[in-house]
Amino acid sequence: MSTVLQRYSVIPGFGLTLGYTLVYLSLIVLIPLSATFVKAAELGWSGFWSVVTEPRVLAAYRVSFGCALLAALVNLGAGLLVAWVLVRYRFPGRRLLDALVDLPFALPTAVAGISLTALYAGNGWVGRHLEPLGLKVAFTPVGITVALIFIGLPFVVRTVQPVLAELEPELEEAAASLGAGRLATFRRVLLPALVPALLTGFALAFARAVGEYGSVIFIAGNMPMVSEIAPLLIVTKLEQYDYVGATAVAVAMLAISFALLLLINLLQWWSRLRHGG
């Protein structure tokens, strides 16, 4: 059977497609990343460590990764709830709501940042009611988290939605007939099937949030040691012609991101292995 599929394959053979894939990935991914590492190596290990452990750089890392992690966790629950509503219920305006989920994909990030800033600033529609309560959103890490939640929600929804659609309602009915409550049904029947998709959506939302720039700089306030994100710090170093310092910060950020995504992928693999997926 495999011989027949190979013989009548629409695309070229394995050798040609593999070669094209390697060349394409090298030009788009590997060579630029390698150039970043080579540029940062000009500092030497001691110089590199000195740059990436500066207090301002460490503070920027804490803001970027902390807000990205918090936003991804919020989207994990909110995305599951939105996907559940879109899949399990039929109501007027459902198709419109389903289309609105993709709005952060189509909306320019700068437009999203300006809109959120206008909304949550001290004189904005929402901010004017929050600040008297002591809740300042714009120009703080809270505002950064709000922006990252906005741009990361579609990743979780679109990852979980098809998995939910494939789950048969009969499984829930069978669990209910055996005396399982709603919480037990969700925890023992639905959650094991959803965990891999949830982890994938979480990883995508987190990865997007870590490198987000356009929607964040307007609402962040960009105060060093307080609300300055790592991508903005890289841009600042480039504007100061500190190209080696900028690449050093980028390499450290890349290494941390890769380690976290590797951990998430290992958790996803373990979850699939545990549940027989």
More confident residue, 182 or 255: 255
For the chain, give every domain's residue range: 31-274
Decide: 245 and 51 in contact? Cβ < 8 Å.
yes
Q: Is the pLDDT of residue 207 over 80?
A: yes
Whether 119 shows a pLDDT value over 80: the answer reads yes
Average pLDDT score over residue span 259-276: 76
Q: Which fold has domain 31-274?
A: MetI-like fold (1.10.3720)
Helices 44-52, 243-274: inter-axial angle, 10-degree rounding? 80
271, 196 contact by CB (below 8 A): yes
The structure tokens 């309560």 sit at 133
pLDDT in tens, 37-81: 888 888 888 999 999 999 999 999 999 999 999 999 999 999 999
For residue 49, the model assigns a pLDDT of 92
The CA-based angle 112-117-123, given to 5 degrees, is 145
pLDDT for position 151: 92
Tell me the mean pLDDT in the region 1-22.
Answer: 68
Specify the pLDDT at position 106. 85
Query: pLDDT at residue 122 above 70?
Result: yes
Tokens of 261: 């995504």
Q: Which of 127, 269, 137, 261 is nearest to 203 (CA)?
A: 261
Q: How far apart are CA 218 and CA 123, in angstroms?
A: 15
C-alpha span between 115 and 145 (Å, rounded): 15
pTM (predicted TM-score): 0.85
Residue 266: per-residue pLDDT: 83
